Amino acid sequence: MIKDARTDLPDVLEADVAIAGGGPAGIALALELAERGRRVLLIEGGGQQSPNGGTSIYDNTTSGRDYPLTGSRLRWLGGTTNHWGGWVRPFDPRDFTDAPAGDLPGWPITADALTEGYRKAAAWCEVGSADYDTDRIGLERRARLLDLSGTGFEHQVFRFSPPTRFGTRYGAALDEAANIDCRVNLNLVELQQTEDAVQSARAVTLDGAACTLRARQFVIAMGGVENARFLLNQDRIPGNQSDLVGGGFMDHFGFTPGLMLADAGLQYERGQIAGDDLMTVMAPSQGTEGPHSCLLVTSTAPDDVLPPAFWTNRTSGDAPGAHYRISMINAPTAHRQSRISLSADRDRLGLRRPHLHWHLPPTEFEPVIALFERWMDGISARNRARVRWTRQNAPTLADNVGVGYHHMGTTRMAAAPEHGVVDPDGRVWDRENLYIAGSSVYPAAGFANPTLTICALAVRMAAHLDQRLGA
């Protein structure tokens, strides 16, 4: 049942599991637990529809490299799935196993731990297939692509969600589930804690009504920024034994290094392969030095320095040529100083507002540029393209850098408490019944968009919590 807390709010709400945050993590987790027969309380700070600009709760400040923090957050049921583009891809096995750049460790789990999660996540995100194996898909047989053999790069694919707006798509399921109590316009503001557990929590509406939440397990699923902000706002900050709550903020960042002249009619873009909604990218193969970034290929108008006719020459392509823009989605590096902290200013709920310091110095682009150069030399050496290298230097701090609106890493998962906030199950290290769901637990991110993995982790967490709750 979905109820508006502004008009219907008892003094106490009780459940087996209380989840704060009605984005993809919270909704998938609630419905997965309900399916297992658990009593779930799901609270969402926003309403069921867009507040049409009424998101002042999310006002913030930033420093470091410019970051569009306000516009990248949405505060109503469904969270940021209300504006996502639907790009879907699981993290690669190497994203879980490779040691990331920087001084913070990577994932404490392997891709195998999410196999079942990814299978069900494909259904949550309404993706037609969970298959990303390019051989099984027959990608290079079905699409006209560059021959990458011997270049150290390989083709990978993104799939697409409709995109599923989780609040709209699963609103009816939340409303009809007898064992889900979903309250909108209800904000989690405080945890009542002992040394090692959460006893209860306090939630309020914007007009001042309050209630106590009681549950055996509590899950914070409020988003990549808000999860850290909420924890930092507590008198005793859970999971902050290593000062990592808020630290390690990451987002996929973009870079457009140049153009390519290659065979005409290459089919990399979405919508080019009949019968399958795919987009193909190029990514470094296992063993190729550099970040696990990817290169996107987009058709563009002919260049006037090296026109398509050049490609018809026997010593180049010996075929009709065309130009393509090459852009990159880059794996971010987690840095402690890239972090969410609190400003002195408070919102209407009395919580201190977030301040983001985004640490993305020009040096972060050096391995990206080196990777591009590696690809460029590989593809040119095999005479499969010529490349116009238009961005040979890293953007300065004043330059605008494209981002994915993917807030990650601020309550990172780790194998040991000194390296993170939550354990491999998503449980806050020093609280036995407090969990964090969402992309804030990612310690590394590759180039794949986060939503599918958010859902996969939620599926995995549901199984874990169900087991912990017992018979």
Partner 1 sequence: MRRRDLLQTAGLTFVGLQFGLLAGCGNDSGRSLAVGPDDPEALETLRSLAGRLDGIEFVGPVCVDEVGETEPLDALLERLRATSAQSLENAFSIALEQDFSTGDRIDIAGWQLARTECLLLAAAATNQGLRDPVLAQQGNLRFEDFASIERWGPDETIEGEVFNPIGNGRGGFWIRVAEPVPGSTRLMLDGVELATHFEPGVVTASLEPDHMDRIIATAGMVPLVMVDTARNIAQRVGYLTVRPRPPAAILADGSSSAVFCEVERWGPDHAPKGQAFNEQPDGSAAFWVRIGCAPPGSELVLDGTPLETSVRTGLVSARVPHYAALEAGPHRLTIRDPASGESLEIGIFNVL
> Interface with partner 1 by CB under 8 A: which range of 39-47, 119-127, 273-281, 400-408?
273-281
- In sequence order, what E strands does 230-334 have? 253-263, 278-284, 294-300, 321-330
To the nearest whole angstrom, how small is the minimum distance from the Cβ of residue 259 to partner 1? Answer: 8
Q: Which is nearest to 170 in space by CA: 180, 159, 158?
A: 180
> Tokens 């195998």 map to which residue?
112
Q: Does 258 bind partner 1 (CB under 8 A)?
A: yes
Query: Which is closer to partner 1, CB of 2 or CB of 250?
Result: 2
Residue 269 has phi, psi (to 5 degrees) of -80, 160
- Other C-beta atoms lying within 10 Å of the C-beta of residue 467: 10
Q: Does 153 bind partner 1 (CB under 8 A)?
A: no
Site for partner 1 in 388-417 (CB under 8 A): 388-390
Q: Does 277 bind partner 1 (CB under 8 A)?
A: yes
> Interface with partner 1 by CB under 8 A: which range of 60-68, 95-103, 178-186, 381-389?
381-389
> Interface with partner 1 by CB under 8 A: which range of 113-121, 213-221, 265-273, 446-454?
265-273
Q: Does 313 bind partner 1 (CB under 8 A)?
A: yes
3-state secondary structure of 405: coil
Q: Does 131 bind partner 1 (CB under 8 A)?
A: no
- Sequence-ordered alpha helix ranges (H) in 125-196: 134-137, 139-142, 166-169, 171-176
Q: Does 311 bind partner 1 (CB under 8 A)?
A: yes
Q: Does 194 bind partner 1 (CB under 8 A)?
A: no
C-alpha distances in Å from residue 5, one per residue of 30, 342, 363, 438: 18, 27, 48, 24
Taking residues 202 to 241 in sequence order and writing x for each that binds partner 1 by CB under 8 A, - otherwise, the string is: ----------------------------------------
For residue 35, what are the contacts with CB-CB under 8 A and spacing of at least 6? none
Helix H or strand E encompassing 458 = helix 451-469
Which of residues 39, 292, 384, 386 is near partner 1 by CB under 8 A?
Answer: 386
To the nearest whole angstrom, how small is the minimum distance from the Cβ of residue 190 to partner 1? Answer: 32
Q: Which is nearest to 376 in space by CA: 367, 368, 386, 366?
A: 386
Query: Which is closer to partner 1, CB of 36 or CB of 270?
Result: 270
Instruction: Write out the residues near partner 1 by the rule CB under 8 A.
Output: 52, 83, 160, 258-259, 264-277, 298-316, 318-323, 376-378, 380-383, 386-390
